[in-house]
Amino acid sequence: MSKSSRKSIVASFGLLSAQLENKLASDQQPMPPAPSPGNRVGAGVIGATHRAIDELRSERDQLKALVESGGGAVRELDPSLIDPSPYPDRLPDDDETSFEAFKRSIETDGQKVPVQVRRHPSSPGRHQIVYGHRRWLAAKQLGRPVRAIEVEISDIDLVLAQGIENASRQDLTWIERALFASRMDDAGIKPRYIYSALSIEDAELARMRNVYRIVPADIIEAIGRAPKVGRPRWLDLAKAVASDPGTLDSIRAALDRKGNRHETSDQRFQRVLNVVKPAAKKSVESTPISDGSGTTLGVLVMSPKEVRISAEGSLGIEFLKFVEAELPNLAEQFARQREQEKP
Low-confidence stretches of the chain (pLDDT < 70) are 1-72, 89, 92-96, 163-170, 258-261, 278-285, 304, 343
Confidence at residue 14, expressed as pLDDT on a 0 to 100 scale: 37
Torsion of CA 151, 152, 157, 161, to 10 degrees: 0
Confidence at residue 260, expressed as pLDDT on a 0 to 100 scale: 63
Confidence at residue 307, expressed as pLDDT on a 0 to 100 scale: 83
User: Global pTM?
Assistant: 0.54
For residue range 44-66, what is the model confidence (pLDDT) as tens digits?
444 544 444 454 444 444 444 44
CB 269 within 8 A of CB 275: no
Residue 321: how many other CB atoms lie within 10 Å? 10
Measured CA to CA, the distance from residue 218 to residue 259 in angstroms comes to: 18
Q: Residue 244 — left, alpha, or beta (φ > 0 → left; ψ -120 to 50 → alpha)?
A: beta
CA proximity to 96, closest of 267, 222, 214, 264: 264
Measured CA to CA, the distance from residue 199 to residue 35 in angstroms comes to: 10
Residue 201: how many other CB atoms lie within 10 Å? 17
Confidence at residue 93, expressed as pLDDT on a 0 to 100 scale: 66
Confidence at residue 170, expressed as pLDDT on a 0 to 100 scale: 53
For residue range 227-271, what is the model confidence (pLDDT) as tens digits?
899 999 999 999 999 988 888 988 998 888 766 667 889 999 998
Measured CA to CA, the distance from residue 299 to residue 313 in angstroms comes to: 11
CB 220 within 8 A of CB 179: yes
- Determine the CATH number of domain 9-213: 3.90.1530.10
Residue 306: what are its φ and ψ, rounded to 5°?
-150, 140
Going from the C-alpha of 130 to that of each of 107, 164, 273, the distances in angstroms are: 22, 12, 35
**Hey, where are the domains in the chain?**
9-213, 221-279, 285-341
